[in-house]
Structure 1
């Protein structure tokens, strides 16, 4: 039996017309008809009364209409179930983290759980926020580490993914140090236009800034002079003196300590962040579940 036969059956049962069903399934009517007949021959019963227009389900067809969706759902769950069985005895861990946290917070955080992360293979996907979200939603990773803010709920949060706060961070507006130990660019209400280094619309940090301070920025004289996805790129441009960028303290702690970068505004323009660890909704497997429980207990 071919799985596609089940999908053919459901389409025909829905529309009641071979020609239209064949079109919906992107094939010729004769080819579609042969596939429906093949399903009936495999079952040993007729599923459709072809003497009527539209075609109607026979009693056996009515019964199969309740069975076919369940069969397809069971088949769709098989790959995930197979991965769970494999992972129950696997020591491999798959983690996605945004670029900024991959460079800063994550290495130290993982060291706290060496008993769980050093015993097997740890695979890291470092990517943009929305791509990390997609990896977790597709069960390609078991965990996702990202910045978060209550005013900018993520898609994962809205869909009920479980998460815990594993750290704190803050977005600071910073600039290259200028003459007289003052910031080269400053965010204030003076007439001078402040050049901004901004995140793209696809950036998770950009979304947080949009939800928290964008409306207040509209009241100041500013101009976006450079846009990029990554905080590390904006950091480089800030060090070159190109403008003001909101950067995670975890990324620029050394720059602040050396005086290379300095705050470009007072503390009211800081944006407090959480660092959250999300877990997949599917069963994690023994090694990943042990890491999750250790992380929960450490909070």
Structure 2
């Protein structure tokens, strides 16, 4: 068995599609399929249900996914510890961040630490939440910045990761104003007259938060999805073009609201969220541990 097979399997579980997963792994689809089949033969169980329209994990596959993720994470941590002991690991602080926070929050937040003392080298990987979770589970980054809501699921369990709250934000529904200065697409909409909805896809952390909050269902919003993306910035651009209504973090759309390009689609539909930083509970490099001690008390 090769560890690359585990990475292939996890990517397939995330994408739910052989073609997209193979492309993400820089493999042809036939070669990718052979590697998944080889893993199933090694496990001696069918991991993938190939009979559904969207590829799904079998019960055995769902159980094995947790094992595969934990194995890759421990291998990465073991590698990092060995590097540290061998003085091969640099003092680089390796961050991952969701796209929105990498633009709206991370630069100014990090600058506050640099003003106090020299941090040394810093690296940042920005991606959607599902990819950021994988990056953390694989040990490719030391810390993750993301939006958080207590009702929304994520894969960074408390047994293996700890986190600190860094601030507050909120998801708000926005759209362009009409000629009278009122929302072009006012919530909740009318029966039989669905509002065009610019929605987050399944890879988006903010999409998970919005779904977990149930604000749309509780308010009885009449929405018709017309566009999907994991990028809040793309949904916001579509909203600016008058294509529909989108929920966006205040940290990203405050300028549009102040300028009048966008406005709230209604009051009472906001979702309070946190900005949190996550890290593994297992000890990291000296540089990471020193940086973590400068943060508020961990929860």
TM-score by length of 1: 0.69
- The question of 1:83 aligning with 2:91 is answered no
Deviation at 1:157, TM superposition (A): 3.2
| Structure ID, larger Rg | 1
Q: State how far apart, in whole Å, the 1-side matches of 2:162 and 2:197 are.
A: 35
- The question of 1:292 aligning with 2:283 is answered no
Paired residue for 1:212? 213
What's the Cα RMSD here?
Answer: 2.8
Paired residue for 1:12? none
4+ residue runs of structure 1 moved beyond 4 angstroms? 23-26, 74-78, 86-89, 115-118
Q: Deviations over 1:217-261 (max 9, x none)?
A: 683322111111110110000000001000000001111110111
Match of 2:233, SS state, is helix
Paired residue for 2:198? 197
Deviation at 1:190, TM superposition (A): 2.6
Q: State how far apart, in whole Å, the 1-side matches of 2:190 and 2:107 are.
A: 42
Match of 1:295, SS state, is coil
Q: Deviations over 1:141-170 (max 9, x none)?
A: 100000000111321035441000001100
- The question of 1:111 aligning with 2:115 is answered no
Q: State how far apart, in whole Å, the 1-side matches of 2:176 and 2:87 are.
A: 48
Which 5+ residue runs of structure 2 have no aligned equivalent?
1-40, 45-73
TM-score by length of 2: 0.69
In 1, are the aligned partners of 2:174 and 2:265 still within 8 Å (CA)? yes
In 2, are the aligned partners of 1:196 and 1:226 still within 8 Å (CA)? yes
Paired residue for 1:182? 182
- Distance of aligned partners of 1:276 and 1:246 in 2 relative to their CA distance in 1, 3 Å threshold: same
Q: Deviations over 1:101-133 (max 9, x none)?
A: 001011111111116884421110000101111
Q: State how far apart, in whole Å, the 1-side matches of 2:231 and 2:159 are.
A: 25
Paired residue for 1:102? 102
Q: State how far apart, in whole Å, the 2-side matches of 1:186 and 1:174 are.
A: 9
Q: Deviations over 1:190-239 (max 9, x none)?
A: 33321110000111110111111266268332211111111011000000
In 2, are the aligned partners of 1:152 and 1:207 still within 8 Å (CA)? yes
Q: State how far apart, in whole Å, the 1-side matches of 2:76 and 2:131 are.
A: 23
Q: State how far apart, in whole Å, the 2-side matches of 1:255 and 1:290 are.
A: 38
Bigger mean CA deviation after superposition, 190-199 or 217-226: 217-226
Match of 1:140, SS state, is coil
Q: State how far apart, in whole Å, the 2-side matches of 1:184 and 1:86 are.
A: 62
Q: State how far apart, in whole Å, the 2-side matches of 1:123 and 1:180 are.
A: 47
Paired residue for 1:254? 255
Match of 1:147, SS state, is strand
In 2, are the aligned partners of 1:93 and 1:117 still within 8 Å (CA)? no
Match of 1:169, SS state, is strand
Deviation at 1:283, TM superposition (A): 1.8
Q: State how far apart, in whole Å, the 1-side matches of 2:293 and 2:245 are.
A: 40
Paired residue for 2:276? 276
Q: State how far apart, in whole Å, the 2-side matches of 1:76 and 1:294 are.
A: 25
Q: State how far apart, in whole Å, the 2-side matches of 1:157 and 1:76 are.
A: 17
Q: State how far apart, in whole Å, the 1-side matches of 2:144 and 2:260 are.
A: 33
Instruction: Indicate the structure with greater helix content.
Output: 1
